[in-house]
Amino acid sequence: MQEITSLVQTGNRKALARFISWVENDVPGYENQLEELHIIPTPIIGVTGPPGAGKSTLINALAGHWLEQGKKVAILAIDPSSPFNQGSLMGDRLRMSEHFLNANLFIRSMASRGSLGGLAPKVFEVCDVLRAAQFDIVIIETVGVGQSEVEIAALADTTVLVLVPEAGDEIQTIKSGVMEIADVFVLNKSDRAGADIFQKNLVQLSHENAQGNWEVPVYKTVASQKEGIVALADGILQHAALPVKGAKKIHLLAQKALLLIKAMRTRDIKLPQLESELETLSQEAGFNLYRYIKKYNP
């Protein structure tokens, strides 16, 4: 394993893909290799938002812009998974095929495997592997399930919330959810009716919630036409370069640690195992789910 760790840190793509698979599948010994990685502070850009907002198209356009500048870009697309086999359902890589042959681009899909929060169970570890692989920018696309996608704030240096004009009537509802985690607002498909009014509402919301050295900017884009991408890309990197204040940095680090600790403590509990046990126990008279789970939480 030591050899593959060294290859990952030189940017070897085959070694990188294999190492990520080891992490995802809990191959024995992968944790020791994570401890040996030299992780550099590559900016991690989280892109979230409701389904249909055009996140994949926007990421494709942003990646194209940064690739033209000679940057090395990694994209991690978290796909919703089948509730039965835990496999990926959508395959967002198919919507990012424009740059497939570019040697400076690495794209990986990860199934959410039923995880809430819009991410995948091993996304924190995989992001650190990507940071060790000499990329200039790492982009994470969340599932797009809506307001539960707040875990991205504990992972990303910059969280980009993608919205569309049609969401304008719901701003009072959504602002109590993922709106607070956004570092950058993107109003995509801004050539549609209602875009100017929605932009005005977002700017007002941003101004009211401004904190410290950053007021969340609002960028209008038409990602399918590459409109507004340059300004958005510059704004994202401007935020990513800001120093994180001590209290916030420790808070986010603690959130990350808590999620990793939870994952480690439940790593031996597998869904097929639970299904097998419950298939029999659930048929018994007086079965109680809360009594059942006690054995896993003594």
Question: In sequence order, what are the residues at sequence separation of 6 or more whose Cβ sits closer than 8 angstroms to the Cβ of residue 127?
Answer: 44, 76, 138, 140, 155
**105 DSSP β-pair partners:** 73
Same domain, 261 and 139: yes
**13 DSSP β-pair partners:** none
Same domain, 214 and 276: no
Residue 202 belongs to a domain: yes
Q: Rounded to two decimals, what is the model's pTM?
A: 0.81
Q: Across all residues in the chain, what is the average pLDDT?
A: 82
- Please name which of 147, 91, 140, 89 lies closest in space to residue 114, comparing C-alpha atoms: 89
Give percent above pLDDT 90 in the chain: 40
Same domain, 160 and 278: no
Same domain, 137 and 158: yes
> Which segment of 10-19, 135-144, 162-171 scores lowest on mean pLDDT?
162-171
Written as six digits, the tokens of 150 are 């707040």
In this predicted structure, the answer to whether residue 145 has a pLDDT above a threshold of 70 is no
Residue 28, number of CB atoms within 10 A of its CB: 8
Q: What is the pLDDT of residue 137?
A: 97
- Burial of residue 83, with CB atoms counted within 10 A of its CB: 0-12 exposed, 13-18 middle, 19 or more buried: exposed
Written as six digits, the tokens of 92 are 């967002």
Question: In sequence order, what are the residues at sequence separation of 6 or more whose Cβ sits closer than 8 angstroms to the Cβ of residue 135?
Answer: 42, 72, 73, 74, 106
Q: What is the pLDDT of residue 95?
A: 57
Written as six digits, the tokens of 98 are 């424009």
Average pLDDT of the residues in 111-125: 61
Residue 25 belongs to a domain: no
Question: In sequence order, what are the residues at sequence separation of 6 or more whose Cβ sits closer than 8 angstroms to the Cβ of residue 53?
Answer: 144, 162, 163, 164, 167, 188, 189
Average pLDDT of the residues in 171-197: 79
**Domain region containing 297:** 270-298
Residue 158, number of CB atoms within 10 A of its CB: 20
Q: Vertex 294, ends 289 and 297: CA angle to 5°?
A: 135
Same domain, 258 and 297: no
Same domain, 168 and 297: no
Q: What is the pLDDT of residue 178?
A: 62
Over the stretch 233-271, which tens digit does the pLDDT of each residue have? 999 999 999 887 556 667 777 877 887 788 778 878 888
Over the stretch 39-79, which tens digit does the pLDDT of each residue have? 898 999 999 888 888 998 999 999 999 999 999 999 998 87
Residue 54 belongs to a domain: yes
Q: What is the DSSP letter of 95?
A: G
- The distance between the two most distant Cα atoms of the chain, rounded to a whole number of Å, is 66
Q: How confident is the model at residue 94 (pLDDT cuts 50, 70, 90)?
A: low
Average pLDDT of the residues in 280-295: 91
Q: How confident is the model at residue 118 (pLDDT cuts 50, 70, 90)?
A: very low
Q: What is the pLDDT of residue 148?
A: 43
Same domain, 179 and 293: no
> Which segment of 74-83, 108-117, 161-170, 279-288 scores lowest on mean pLDDT?
108-117
Written as six digits, the tokens of 214 are 């950053």
Q: What is the pLDDT of residue 90?
A: 47
Written as six digits, the tokens of 115 are 């995880």
Same domain, 225 and 116: yes
Same domain, 189 and 278: no
Residue 102 belongs to a domain: yes
- Give 254 or 118, the one with higher predicted confidence: 254
- Give 143 or 219, the one with higher predicted confidence: 219
Q: How far is CA 182 from the centre of its chain?
A: 13
CB 115 within 8 A of CB 121: yes
Backbone angles phi, psi at 138, to 5 degrees: -120, 125
Q: What is the pLDDT of residue 147?
A: 42
Same domain, 166 and 288: no
Same domain, 49 and 101: yes
Domain CATH code at residue 92: 3.40.50.300
Separation of alpha carbons 192 and 175, rounded Å = 21
